[in-house]
Structure 1
Amino acid sequence: MSKTSIENQRASDLCRHTFSGATMGTRYSAQCYAPADLDHRSLAAGLERAVQAVDQEMSNWKASSDLTCLNKASVDVWVPISANLAKVLVRATEIGRETDNAFNAGLGDLVDRWGFGPGGVGQPGMSSLLGGRPHRPIGEILEVDVAQSRARKRAPVKLDLCGIAKGFGVDELGRVMEHKGIQSWLVGIDGEMRARGTKPTGSSWALAIERPEYTRREAFAVIEVTDIAIATSGDYRHWSEYEGTRTSHTMDPRKGAPLRNGIASVTVLADTCMDADAYATALMVLGEKHGVQFARRKRLNALLLVREGKGLRAIGTGCFSNG
């Protein structure tokens, strides 16, 4: 169930409406400024439907999801999927191609192998950190028919959209706000955020970029945004430990093993949260040198935090270049 509240704002005929609820194994949140007579129950229901639809379409933890059905299907068999899933699969393929396979939505078996997916089997042994089997780009083994909302695998593969689906869910929350004609809002799922407009005072939305700490939560920096999406990928929230070594949940498709390159986190600003989410993951995998080169070439607004001993070194591109 979602929670709804209204908070009156002084010197304004607008009110702050807030919403939250459970989705995708975490929580979503939304707030907006709108007249006091806004039908917030209707808006709350719309937000809830939007995120639950994405979860039902793209979760690899739900036995009945569109993604799970596609994963279970035989090779060369067309499977009906939602228009949303088709859109996300196409974008995942495009970003995979742009990043030279640093972003790959076909790592479900590898994620399971390391104990981070629904079919997780735990640590396969630290020797595997040195490298496994490189994974083929998803564009080579998946065909998506957007017009007919269907897809088929051209080779055995298990899809995992954890690096892009949450961002798309945030975009869907924003779509609901826009459909209701609301011009000032901030929505998010587990730290992936998208903002529109400004507050009634004219100030932008203030968002914290988290310091990549394993045991506590604190801000590394606070930025003010409007009309933009932001996503962060990191090694500090989802990980496991084996024989004293931390294993990241982010997988390197080119090595077939968990990521180990010193990058603690990557934050990306983009027009859509789907893109910000996927590019943040890709830059994590590309690493410091190639990640920064790609971000500059793509003109991405990106902040990379690199571990150096017990400290952090920040590298920024775009609007973060002077941060």
Structure 2
Amino acid sequence: MSKMSTDLVRHALNGATMGTRWSALFVTDLGFDPAPVQAALQAAVDNVDTQMSTWNPDSDLMRLNAAPVGEWLTIPAQLLDVMQLGLEIGKASDGAFDIGMGDAVTAWGFGADAAASERIRSAMTATRLPAHEAVEIDMANVRVRKHAPIVIDLNGIAKGYGTDRLAETLGGFGIASGLVGIDGEMRAIGLRPDDTPWTIAVEAPDPLRRATHSVLSLQDAAVATSGDYRHWVDVQGYRLSHTMDPRKGAPLLASPASVTVIARTCAEADAWATALMVLGPDIGAQCARQRGLDALFLLRDGDASVRTLGIGHLFSNQPAATAPATRNEPYGTIQ
């Protein structure tokens, strides 16, 4: 039986990380000091940022990007784990999720510098190997090497991974119930104090206001959303979303309004949400079914309304939908 609410204290902690905010919500007995938890949570995300930031020229990731092709480089175990997962999802998605798009991300103005036409042309004309073919990882010796020129960017997975580290940190304090997140990537731990699942809103894909499209109920699961309505740049009068098309070295010109994925870890949910955005509703839905993913596609109709396409048993109550034709060239059948 749950404790009475008078026996518990609610803690809502937060801090800065990766250009946004992290948050943690949990309850404890009376007399619990949250200060050590706050410090540990901040240290956990600071460690991820120190290793994986593309804004910090001294990060471990930027050190790897600067390393010569063919040279083995020892890197921190956490960074290696994230890269390994990113390469696995890249291969599983037929290259739709690609951690080797750092040059395009920077060229189009989603990094520290403004968009630049020369870098854009270079990114769009570059001969590319997908990252899962261009990068070799030696897990036993905690090292990595590049087999081709490549600029690695982990923005499509690092926030999810940071969220997982927040959850792990709470667990280290014996906290078995909570909700943690970074910039909307969320992970639910256990149940709420009243033994009900944690509720998490899926945003409506509206760039002008924050509104709820639907509500998820989660227990011991993570959720991440990739969309076209929050992060963009204006280039020559066009609003371009931050999600890159690895085939073109450029932002997607057509995609679902958003894709939400529920997974065991937030890093997996984060990366797969991006991959399904790139694949689009037809092949993306096929991929999600074949991979056993729970995914919610929000699709814009010509009249500006939004339809849903739910994949997986968690979204089985979503109305069936036929995805509209996409202007993206298909990736091909996902095996």
Q: Same fold (TM over 0.5)?
A: yes
Kindly tell me: are residues 59 and 185 of structure 1, through their superposed partners in 2, closer, same or farther at Cα, counting changes over 3 Å? same
- Note the C-alpha offset of 1:144: 1.6
- 1:54 maps to 2:48: yes
* CA distances 1:179-226 after superposition (whole Å, capped 9, x unpaired): 111111100000000001112112211111011111111111112111
* CA distances 1:80-119 after superposition (whole Å, capped 9, x unpaired): 2110000000000000000000000000001111111234
> Matches of 2:274 and 2:49 in 1, distance apart?
20
- 1:259 maps to 2:240: no
- 1:222 maps to 2:215: yes
> Matches of 2:260 and 2:282 in 1, distance apart?
16
* CA distances 1:239-290 after superposition (whole Å, capped 9, x unpaired): 1223443211100102222112231100000000000000000000000100
Q: State the one-letter code of the partner of 1:70.
A: L
Alignment of 1:11-90 (within 5 A): 11-90=5-84
Q: Which of the residues 316, 320, 323 maps onto 1:321?
A: 316
> Matches of 2:269 and 2:246 in 1, distance apart?
19
Alignment correspondent of 1:292: 285
Aligned residues of 2:15 and 2:22 also touching (Cα < 8 A): yes
SS at structure 1 position matched to 2:5? coil
> Matches of 1:165 and 1:125 in 2, distance apart?
24
- The structure where strand makes up a greater share of residues is 1
Q: Which of the residues 166, 188, 194 maps onto 1:201?
A: 194
> Matches of 1:193 and 1:101 in 2, distance apart?
25
- Note the C-alpha offset of 1:140: 1.2
SS at structure 2 position matched to 1:21? strand
SS at structure 1 position matched to 2:299? strand
238-247 vs 107-116, which deviates more?
A: 238-247
> Matches of 2:117 and 2:186 in 1, distance apart?
32
> Matches of 2:131 and 2:92 in 1, distance apart?
12
> Matches of 2:236 and 2:102 in 1, distance apart?
24
Kindly tell me: are residues 76 and 133 of structure 1, through their superposed partners in 2, closer, same or farther at Cα, counting changes over 3 Å? closer
> Matches of 1:292 and 1:273 in 2, distance apart?
20
Structure 1 stretches of 5 or more lacking a match? 1-8
Alignment correspondent of 1:3: none
Q: Which of the residues 274, 283, 286 maps onto 2:276?
A: 283
Alignment of 1:154-233 (within 5 A): 154-233=147-226
- Note the C-alpha offset of 1:12: 4.5
CA RMSD, aligned part only?
Answer: 1.8
- Note the C-alpha offset of 1:57: 0.5
SS at structure 1 position matched to 2:257? strand
283-292 vs 234-243, which deviates more?
A: 234-243
Aligned residues of 1:76 and 1:154 also touching (Cα < 8 A): yes
Aligned residues of 1:134 and 1:256 also touching (Cα < 8 A): no
Q: State the one-letter code of the partner of 1:276.
A: A
Aligned residues of 1:107 and 1:135 also touching (Cα < 8 A): no
- How does the TM-score come out when normalised to structure 2? 0.89
Q: State the one-letter code of the partner of 1:148.
A: N
Alignment correspondent of 2:131: 138
Structure 1's consecutive aligned runs of 4 or more residues displaced over 6 angstroms after TM superposition are none
SS at structure 2 position matched to 1:135? coil
Q: State the one-letter code of the partner of 1:271.
A: R
Q: State the one-letter code of the partner of 2:219.
A: T
Q: State the one-letter code of the partner of 1:180.
A: F
Aligned residues of 1:60 and 1:160 also touching (Cα < 8 A): yes
Structure 2 stretches of 5 or more lacking a match? 319-335
Aligned residues of 2:115 and 2:235 also touching (Cα < 8 A): no
